[in-house]
Amino acid sequence: AQSVTQLGSHVSVSEGALVLLRCNYSSSVPPYLFWYVQYPNQGLQLLLKYTSAATLVKGINGFEAEFKKSETSFHLTKPSAHMSDAAEYFCAVSQNTGGFKTIFGAGTRLFVKA
Amino acid sequence: DAGITQSPRHKVTETGTPVTLRCHQTENHRYMYWYRQDPGHGLRLIHYSYGVKDTDKGEVSDGYSVSRSKTEDFLLTLESATSSQTSVYFCAISELAVSSYNEQFFGPGTRLTVL
């Protein structure tokens, strides 16, 4: 069975500081991994996705994530936080097995301090 | 932006009443999904559809039913609403294509309050 664990329900950083949001997954077959972002009162938007083409994945708004199979991790990073990055971030995993269901983590809310 | 709308966007109802939420897409995507979002739980799949009249249960399907009579519409019905179904409901769509790897596009959500 698949599962996703996001470490830290809330993360607070200063503007200009490194953003690191942690995600660990469990999957019995090679997974597809995603990060989605949700701004207040909106639906989720895809930030980036891992599809086995490259372990370092670049997404929108300067975010990137690295797939580490040995650590079963897919952490999201951004070198310099901006106030507009304040949102909730969800890590998700899916497999190419019947139904194509996606399992979402519980989410991490990012606060950016001026 | 993917063409996904949800209606209503907000609804307050009373315990025991039936409620139907509608998701409409203009992308002609094959798969449609209903999720509920609750603090500390992320998004949990209620039901999904893989074609017209083809639906299946997700992890939290009790108390919910769905119907899909047209490609573009996916309805979620709470047969007899309970306070535990107070939540934000999101519809999502995806096209089963190798290049998309099941990337989902989400609607704006419906905030449902059951009193």
The two three-digit tokens of residue A99, written as one number: 């139904």
Cβ contact (<8 Å) for B108 and A43?
Answer: yes
Nearest to A100 among B42, B96, B107 (CB): B96
Which candidate in A6, A41, A102 is best for mutational testing of the B interface (most B CBs within 10 A)?
A: A102
Cβ separation B104–A99 shorter than 8 A: no
Tokens of B63: 């108390």
pLDDT digits (tens, 9 = 90+) for B84-103: 999 999 999 988 755 557 78
The answer to whether the CB atoms of A100 and B41 lie below 8 A apart is: no
Q: Does A60 touch chain B (CB under 8 A)?
A: no
Percent of residues, chain A, with pLDDT higher than 70: 96
pLDDT digits (tens, 9 = 90+) for A2-48: 789 999 999 999 999 999 999 999 887 778 899 999 998 889 999 99
pLDDT in tens, chain B (115 residues): 569 999 999 999 999 999 999 999 999 998 999 999 998 888 999 999 988 999 999 989 999 999 999 999 999 999 999 999 999 999 999 887 555 577 889 999 999 999 9
Nearest CB neighbour to A32, from listed B4, B40, B102: B102
In the structure encoding, which two tokens stand for residue B41, read together? 């739980």
How far, in Å, CA of A104 to CA of A91, rounded? 6
More confident call, A76 vs A103: A76
Contact A46, A36 (CB under 8 A): yes
Query: Quick one: what percent of chain A has pLDDT higher than 90?
Result: 72
- Which pLDDT value is given to residue A30? 75
Beta strands per DSSP E along A1-114: 3-7, 10-14, 19-26, 32-38, 44-50, 56-58, 64-68, 73-78, 87-94, 102-104, 108-113
Q: Burial letters for B66-101: b for 16+ Cβ neighbours within 10 Å, e otherwise?
A: bebeeebebbbebeebeeebbbbbbbbbbeeeeebb
Beginning with the edge strand found earlier in the chain, give each strand of the sheet holding A3-7 in spatial order: A3-7, A19-26, A73-78, A64-68, A56-58
Q: Is A67 an interface residue toward B (CB < 8 Å)?
A: no
Task: Give me the residue label for tokens 């047209």.
Answer: B70
Is the confidence at residue A52, as pLDDT, over 90? no
